[in-house]
Homo-oligomer: A and B are copies of this chain.
Amino acid sequence: MINGIELGPYRDQPGHGEAQARDAADPLSGYRERFRIADPELIYLDGNSLGRLPNTTPARVDEVVHGEWGDRLIRSWNESWWHLADRIGGKIAPLIGAAAGEVIVSESTTTNLHKLAGAALALRPERGTVITDDLNFPSDIHVLAGVAARAGRRLVVVESNGVEGPVDALLAAIDDDTALVSLSLTAFKSGYTYDLAAVTAAAHDAGALVLWDLSHAVGAIEVDLGGAHVDLAVGCTYKFLNGGPGSPAFLFVRGDLVERLHNPITGWWGDAAPFDFGLDHAPASGIRRFQVGTAPILSLAAMEPGVDLVAEAGMGAVAAKGRALVEAAAERWAARLAPLGFAWATPHDPARRGAHAALAHPDAWRITQALIEVGRVVPDFRAPDNVRLGLSPLTTSFVDVHTAIERLARIVEAGVHEGYSEERSAVT
């Protein structure tokens, strides 16, 4: 009990029994205990922003710090580190429907987007526009704007029509002057999820290339890049893949395209013979040509156990649980939050969802603060008015969803949030 708010579990509340039953039937319920749960009372619904720590990660980090760096020193480049980015990329590949050799771990999502968008435009020199829409992560839009401007192209940011149907306006904008279509497969705020195959096909029909940002999709939903014949993709590993804070991102280039594309940042890690130290650059063959500089090994090695856990659980099962968790949140929203002024800011169509949900409320920022401090639930605030619930499939239970939404309802009913400041902190 904090500030008069009973933290539950709310066994007598409608929906609790169903939540318990769903947990009991959940084939993935055992995965939760394979992650560090420091405070069992805290409900962490931000695994889509920073995933939890896998139990096996600290030992791997210790091995890298003490054994590989401390003891073996430079020899670890040959013994362990040189192929790490390829190996982990090879483990991410099947999670997104890619083949071995089409995925590599490298830098940040942002820098990878910069590289692949630049490379793509060079393949369509005669076309004038890059298409995205306003559901995309703003940083992606900024990167695309920069790349387009430098290449003498125009970025078109299509206005979406809310969270239910942005596709019509988007498809209408793609024409025979479109060089590249770049979108977030699952939108960072609403969770709107495109029909990967349909949008890719429409872009291809117009002769354009596609570049998908999978940051909020990988480890959350089933993605079949190969089936959709996607050209290019990038994505983040510290969200649903539980790779750790700022763990390096990945990039995908379809196998038959890779030798035709050139990395605009021509660094030694993407060179065919980096240790020959020749004065002329020749790109490495294969996906490695999209590497740039020395990878941050501690962060790179630390991400592997998280990827392994998702692979072990199986992407089909993980995605099914994600869908079920979002549906459970929708049920509890309808019962408890809609009457309190929250709008469901995520698609109603389950096929268009990811594994997070957004609740819109005019007082979202103050509510978020109260929910964290008093409610002991950690969601994300997304400006201007979203409380975003990340329902990371491996670490979230159905009772978590039930309890969190009940705490949220009680906080708003009691007006606890009215005691919080409207001023926002730097990072949220």
- What residues of chain A have their CB less than 8 Å away from a CB belonging to chain B? 36, 38-39, 44, 46, 49-50, 52-53, 57-58, 61-62, 64-66, 68-71, 73-78, 81-82, 107-111, 114, 134, 137-139, 141-143, 145-146, 150, 157, 189, 236, 238, 244-249, 264-269, 271, 274-281, 292-300, 302, 378, 380, 382-383, 424-428
Contact = CB atoms under 8 A, between A and B. Distances in A.
Nearest to A76: B245
Given A50-B73, A73-B46, A73-B378, A293 B109 contact: yes
Contacts of A236: 294
Contacts of A189: 277
A281 B70 contact: no
Give the interface centre of A39, A109, A275, A294 by most chain B CB atoms within 10 Å. A294
A279 B378 CA distance: 26
A82 B39 CA distance: 23
A264 to B, nearest CB: 6
Contacts of A57: 65
B426 A302 contact: no
Given A71-B39, A248-B296, A281-B145, A111 B265 contact: yes
Contact of A70 (B36, B66, B145): B36
Given A265-B143, A268-B139, A275-B427, A292 B108 contact: yes
Given A266-B145, A267-B111, A53 B70 contact: yes
A121 B300 CA distance: 33
A312 to B, nearest CB: 20
B294 A238 contact: yes
Contact of A300 (B146, B246, B265, B267): B246
Given A61-B65, A139-B267, 4 more contacts: A36-B66, A73-B378, A82-B426, A111-B267
Contacts of A426: 78, 82, 275
Contacts of A157: 279
A279 B69 contact: no
A39 to B, nearest CB: 7
Number of copies: 2
B70 A38 contact: yes
B108 A245 contact: no
Contacts of A134: 279
Given A244-B69, A296-B296, A58 B53 contact: no
Contacts of A74: 44, 46, 49-50, 378, 380
Contacts of A246: 81, 294-298, 300
A277 B138 contact: yes
A238 B74 CA distance: 11
A143 B291 CA distance: 13
A85 to B, nearest CB: 10
Contacts of A81: 245-246
16 contacts: A39-B71, A44-B73, A49-B74, A61-B65, A65-B244, A74-B380, A78-B428, A107-B111, A108-B292, A134-B279, A139-B274, A141-B281, A146-B264, A146-B265, A150-B150, A275-B426
Contacts of A114: 265, 267, 292
Contacts of A300: 246, 296, 299
Nearest to A380: B74
Contacts of A244: 65, 69, 297-298
A38 B143 contact: no
A170 to B, nearest CB: 15
Contact of A278 (B109, B138, B296, B427): B138
Given A139-B267, A293-B110, A293-B111, A245 B277 contact: no
A52 B76 CA distance: 12
A267 B298 contact: no
Contact of A268 (B46, B49, B65, B110): B110
Contacts of A76: 245
